[in-house]
Every structure is written in structure tokens, then in C-alpha cells.
Amino acid sequence: MVVLPLRGEILNNDLITAYIAAGIGRAHGWSHIYSLALEHDMFVQLRPHAVFQDGAWYATPPVYAWLVLPLTLLSPAAAVYVWLALLGVALTAAWWIAAPEGGRTRWLWLLGALAWYPVLYSLEFVQPALLVLLIAAASWKLADLRKPYLAGAVLGLSVIKPQLVLLIPLVLLAAGRWRVVLPWALIGAALALLSLISLGADGLGDYRITLAHESQVANNRYFTLAYLLGPGLLSYAVPALAVLVTMAGAYLNRRESYGRLFALGIVASTLTPTYWHLQDFTILVLAGWLFWREQPPAWQRAWLLVVVIAGEFAWPLTPLPMLVGIAVWFAFLVAPSRTPVSERALAT
């Protein structure tokens, strides 16, 4: 699943789009990283036998290209291998931080994550989802250790792929945990301002063109509610309604642990976007770990198997089972737990 495609063509993955953007930034200035002409020229140099199409356009925020910049000192193939190693370290570190306790069997949580199709798919395309997973796990741990400001600062680093955990700050704010949200907002605003400065008017115009095109690509919405609701107004109205339900659920769960709130924010983030891919469901690994830590009823834990199977066979089954599975899980998290936090703490 991972080795064979990369062995077939090591540069056929999404990291190369960021590598190209970072290379353009270094050679031509950061205001040009969304220039399709420059992207095309560098793409042809790296992959002369491949077709440059919208899937090869760089559409991620500039911060990701900044992060990848040191890798441009390496060959493209070496950069892919280094990044894959970092992703493996990120998953292992997130497992160490957030996976449920289990004694000698705890390693099964890591094995299960590595065996899940969305995670493998993310690794095949060398996506940064596992880095965001580690960022969110570290943020949760710091918040749980009563270091909210540091937790928020770490969560601010999720801007490299913000849609994966976008609703966590909203959940925390609705639950009254503003001490985490404040540094997240400050860091996010600072990075957004630096991005705007680096792009300038011309670069921002190029970015808008890229985003406008990407929003019209059907594949970018295949794993969203638009699959069920169509491309019209409902595909925007229903996710907006889900955001309101998320905020209400966060308020109802305001006395719950950070683990439950982070899980709610992650699950809501997968259910409400208008731009999502199969590999993005990787972030649900962390939500599953945190949800399990909360000692939910056995029948709710059993439901996670539905989500796992739906993700495993997402292509042949279509997104419908996955969306239904996540929606039911979302309902579990919106409703306050019937077990007091103190009793769950004793259970763990």
C-alpha cells in the first residue's frame, strides 16, 4: 500500500508540491509560491514524464512550505524518505502521549493505527496529517496537565493543515476553556499576517485563483456531506448547522475533561468541512484514543468498529458508511457523559 507506489515513482506524492513551492520561494521569493507557471516549470524538471494538473498545484498555506524549506537542501527523493521517517516518528510520539493505557497490550493501539487504510493512504501520499495528529495530541496532554497557555501555543502549529482540527478551538471556547484558545488565536493571527506579508498582493491573488479552482474540483468534496447533499446550498447549510450543534455540545460538556472536548472538536472537524480527502480521516485516530480514555459505554466503544471498517473500505463502500458512522459518533460526543469525570479518573 505504501512501499509499492513509492517504489514505483518516489516523487508521485503530495510532499513534492510543497517541495516545489519551497524551492520557488527560495529561488524566486515567497510571493511566487502559488505561481502556476513557476510550479509547472519546476514540476517538469522533477517529473518530466508526468502530467501537470490541478492535483499537483500547491494549495496549502505558506507555513507548510516554510516547514519543508530545509528539505530543499536534499534531493527530492531524499526529502521524501526523510519526511516519511518524520511522519513515522510523529505517529509513534502521538501514540506514546495519547493512546489509552493497556499495559503490555498498549502497542496494539499503534499497530491498529498503522494498519488503518486512511493512515496508510496518508503515508502513501506523504501527507502532513500525522504531524497535525502529534500537534493535537501534545496540545491535549499539556491542557490535561493544566498548562493551557502552552497547550494553545502548540495547537497554533496546526496551521500547516488547519482543517483537520479547525473546530477544536471553537469547542474549547464554547466550553469556557479560553486560556487554550487565546494563544492559539495569537499564533494563528501572527502566522496569517506573516503569510500575507510574504505573499504580497500578487501572491495573494495567485493563491485566490488556486483556492477558487480547488473548490470546484469534485474530488475535493467527495468525502464531505456534499456527497449526500449535492453541490448546492444544502452542502454549506448543513455543515454550518453542525457547527452550531458542536458549539451547543461543547457547552453541555463544559465540565467534561479535555480529552472529551478534543475528541468532539476532531470528530466535528471531519464532519463539517467543504474540502476533505480520505487521508484526512487519519486525525480520527487521535479522537478514537481520547474517546476510549473517557471510558464510554461498551456499545459506544463498539460503534468505533463501524467507523474503522467504513474507513478501511471507503472506496468500494462509498463515503456514505463513513459519514454515517462519524455522525453517530458525533452524537455520542455532543451528549454529556453520564459518568462523572471523577469516576472516570478513578477507572483509569
8 pLDDT band, cuts 50/70/90, is low
In whole angstroms, what is the distance from residue 129 CA to residue 257 CA? 24
Q: 80-102, pLDDT tens digit by residue?
A: 999 999 999 999 999 999 999 88
What's the pLDDT score for residue 9? 85
C-alpha distances in angstroms, 319 versus 112, 223, 256, 263, 314? 21, 6, 31, 21, 6
Question: CA angle, corner 84, sides to 42 and 1, nearest 5?
Answer: 95
**CA-CA distance, 108 to 155, in Å (whole number)?**
27
Instruction: List, as own/partner pairs, every contact residues 338-343 make where C-beta atoms lie below 8 angstroms and the sequence separation is at least 24, other chains included.
Output: 339/295, 341/255, 341/256, 341/257
Per-residue pLDDT tens digits for 27-83:
999 999 999 999 999 999 999 999 999 989 999 999 999 999 999 999 999 999 999
Alpha-carbon dihedral angle through residues 187, 193, 196, 199, given to the nearest 10 degrees: -70
Q: How confident is the model at residue 3 (pLDDT cuts 50, 70, 90)?
A: low
DSSP 2-27: -HHHHHH-TT-STHHHHHHHHHHHHH
What is the overall mean pLDDT for the chain? 93
* DSSP assignments along 154-202, one per residue: HHGGGGGSGGGGTTHHHHHHHTT-HHHHHHHHHHHHHHHHHHHHHHHHH
Q: What is the pLDDT of residue 218?
A: 86
- Tens-digit pLDDT profile for residues 225-267: 999 898 888 989 999 999 999 999 999 999 999 999 999 999 9
- The CA–CA distances, whole Å, from 287 to 89, 119, 262, 270, 295 equal 19, 14, 7, 11, 13
- Spatial CB neighbours of 240, under 8 Å, sequence gap ≥ 6: 272
pLDDT tens, 305-337? 999 999 999 999 999 999 999 999 999 999 988
pTM: 0.94
| Res. 129: pLDDT tops 70 | yes
Say if residue 342's pLDDT is above 80: no
Tens-place pLDDT, residues 161-218: 999 999 999 999 999 999 999 999 999 999 999 999 999 999 999 999 999 999 888 8
Closest CA to 61 of 196, 169, 190, 167: 196
Amino acid at 142: L
pLDDT tens digit string along 18-27? 999 999 999 9
Residues 120-125, mean pLDDT to the nearest whole number: 96
Which among 342, 338, 322 is positioned nearest to 330, based on CA atoms?
A: 322
